[in-house]
C-alpha cells in the first residue's frame, strides 16, 4: 500500500534527522550556565510536549468532524493520532522528571502543569482502552469522538496553567505573545527539534492510519486479524 510506504519513508527520514538534532543539541549548542548540561533536555522535552498536544488537538478535531460527517476516515485518524500521542506523552513524562530532579531537586510535584500533562497521558490511555473495549464500530467511533473532544478542551488549560496557577514549571519561552526569549543558537536547535518531532508525528500517524485501514480491509475480507 502506497500510504504505508510513504509513512515508513517519512519516519525513516525523521529518525535520521532526529540523530542530527541530537548531534547539534549535544555538541554544537551552548551549555546554559545556571542549569548546566541538564538544560539541554529542553530540546527533546518541549517538542515532545508540543507533539503530544498536537496529537490530542487533532484527535479532538477528528472527533468533531466524525460526529458531523460520520466519515470513518476521521475515526481512523483519531485512533492513529491518539496512539502516536501516547508515545510522545511518554517522552514528555520521562524527560520532564529527569530534567526536574537536578533543577528543582525533585522528580515530580503535583502542581497544575505537571498534573494536567499526566491527565493528558491518562486521557490518551483511556481513549485507547475505550477503543479496545467497545466492539461495535459505530458506537466505538462515537464514544471515542466524545472523549477526543474532551481532550481538546483540556489543551488550553494545560497551556495556560503556568499563568493561572502557582507552579514550579517555567512559563513558555517560544509559544507566547512576545518574541522568543532564547539566544540564537539555542532557538535554532529548538526550532529544528520542533520540525523533526513534527515530521516524526506525521510519519507515525500515516503508518498507523495505513495499518488500521489495511486491518479493516482484511477483516472485511474475512481474515483473522488481531487488534494489536
Residues that bind other proteins (CB under 8 A): 4, 8, 11, 15, 18, 22, 25-26, 31, 33-38, 40-41, 44-45, 48, 84, 87, 90-91, 94-95, 98-99, 101-102, 200, 204, 207-208, 210-211, 214-215, 218, 225, 228
Residue 20: is it exposed, middle or buried by C-beta count within 10 angstroms (0-12/13-18/19+)? exposed
36: helix, strand or coil: strand
- Minimum Å gap between C-beta 53 and other proteins is 17
- Minimum Å gap between C-beta 195 and other proteins is 15
| Nearer to other proteins (CB atom), residue 113 or residue 208 | 208
- Minimum Å gap between C-beta 32 and other proteins is 8
Contact 33, 215 (CB under 8 A): no
| β-bridge partners, 36 | 32
| β-bridge partners, 32 | 36
| Nearer to other proteins (CB atom), residue 74 or residue 211 | 211
- Minimum Å gap between C-beta 105 and other proteins is 12
| Nearer to other proteins (CB atom), residue 101 or residue 176 | 101
| Nearer to other proteins (CB atom), residue 40 or residue 113 | 40
Rg of the chain taking only CA atoms, in angstroms? 19
Angstrom distances, CA of residue 153 to CA of 11, 24, 210, 214? 29, 36, 28, 31
- Minimum Å gap between C-beta 188 and other proteins is 18
Angstrom distances, CA of residue 133 to CA of 86, 140, 215? 18, 8, 17
| Nearer to other proteins (CB atom), residue 108 or residue 165 | 108
| Nearer to other proteins (CB atom), residue 95 or residue 161 | 95
28: helix, strand or coil: coil
| Nearer to other proteins (CB atom), residue 173 or residue 199 | 199
- Minimum Å gap between C-beta 119 and other proteins is 20
Closest by CA to 89, choosing from 113, 60, 114, 53, is: 53
* Helices and strands: H and E segment counts in the chain: 6, 0
All residues at 6 or more sequence positions from 33 whose CB lies less than 8 Å from its CB, including other chains: none
- Minimum Å gap between C-beta 38 and other proteins is 4
Amino acid at each position: 500500500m502506497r500510504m504505508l510506504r510513504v509513512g515508513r519513508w517519512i519516519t525513516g527520514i525523521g529518525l535520521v534527522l532526529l540523530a542530527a538534532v541530537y548531534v547539534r543539541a549535544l555538541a554544537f549548542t551552548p551549555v546554559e550556565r545556571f542549569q548546566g548540561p541538564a538544560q539541554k533536555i529542553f530540546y527533546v522535552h518541549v517538542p515532545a510536549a508540543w507533539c503530544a498536544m498536537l496529537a490530542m488537538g487533532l484527535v479532538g478535531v477528528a472527533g468533531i468532524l466524525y460526529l458531523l460527517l460520520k466519515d470513518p476516515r476521521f475515526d481512523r485518524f483519531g485512533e492513529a493520532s491518539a496512539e502516536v500521542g501516547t508515545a510522545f506523552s511518554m517522552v514528555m513524562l520521562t524527560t520532564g522528571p529527569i530534567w526536574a530532579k537536578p533543577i528543582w531537586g525533585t522528580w515530580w510535584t503535583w502542581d497544575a502543569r505537571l498534573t494536567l500533562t499526566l491527565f493528558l497521558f491518562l486521557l490518551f490511555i483511556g481513549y485507547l482502552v475505550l477503543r479496545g473495549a467497545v466492539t461495535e464500530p459505530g458506537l466505538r467511533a462515537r464514544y471515542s469522538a466524545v472523549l477526543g473532544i474532551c481532550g481538546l478542551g483540556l489543551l488550553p488549560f494545560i497551556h495556560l496553567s503556568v499563568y493561572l496557577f502557582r507552579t514550579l514549571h517555567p512559563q513558555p519561552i517560544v509559544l507566547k505573545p512576545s518574541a522568543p526569549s532564547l539566544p540564537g543558537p539555542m532557538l535554532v536547535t529548538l526550532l529544528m527539534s520542533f520540525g523533526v518531532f513534527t515530521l516524526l508525528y506525521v510519519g507515525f500517524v500515516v503508518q498507523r492510519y495505513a495499518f488500521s485501514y489495511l486491518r479493516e480491509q482484511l477483516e472485511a475480507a474475512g481474515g483473522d486479524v488481531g487488534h494489536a
